[in-house]
Structure 1
Amino acid sequence: MSRDIRRVGVVGGGQMGAGIAEVCARAGLDTVVCEVDAVAARDRVAASLDRAVERGKLTRAAARDALDRMVFSGSLEDLADRQLVVEAVVENADAKTEIFTALDKIVEAPDAVLASNTSSLPVELSAPTPWDR
């Protein structure tokens, strides 16, 4: 895959998901965060950006720009046009399977990347990959 990724989605707005989304937005990427409590996710990212400004690691304008590049939603359907979606929810195999099953139906681009931030669960592919061809 040689194309540039410009549209990122993150499923989960907890500590890890919010951090992934913040890094993407600070890098200039159009970022959608999908979280049941979208307001709490936005508040988490805004607080992190504020801390970065207070520590002199980010200008106020850059923090505002990063937050402006983010959309916070409670609906997975808002991830349909994403080129990369990173799952960052609770370490529960059933929850992750349910999310990936939904994303497989929702994300439109056939070459979109669906990734997991899991640290303790095995990741298995059940569909053919480009490497299987």
Structure 2
Amino acid sequence: MNKTACAVIALALSGAAAEAGEAIPLRGLFCQTEAQIHDASDKLRAGLPAAMVAESMNREGVHCVYADRIDYVVETPYIIDEDSRGSLFTYEASLTGIRAGDNLRPIEPPLPIYFVRPDRIAGAVAAGKV
């Protein structure tokens, strides 16, 4: 995995739609690695609130951030995993910016980003399928 990759568990955006090149704002729990997203997912499934998950993941350094007042802007999300109950979908996308209020800060070059949502993003396809 690319060391500059980020992982995100997106919790707050509902009704997102994915179309080629369309930017989608996300809020939620953002982590630095794919392994961290899996650990964070387990804690969320156990009922821990996202802010507490971030705190628990940061005991030995800052690895995750709960972003509830800014948006991470992503493009081209696709499904890379779905849990057996269909209650969490794991996505990969390109992080293209961070928006705070009306201010959008572009990310150049875009970074790979991973996130988990409780719902399926309309238009997102499974990895390897068109």
TM-score normalised to structure 2 length: 0.29
Structure with the higher fraction of residues in helix conformation: 1
More strand by share: 2
Greater RCO (Cα-Cα under 8 Å, separation 6 or more) = 2
TM-score, scaled relative to structure 1: 0.29
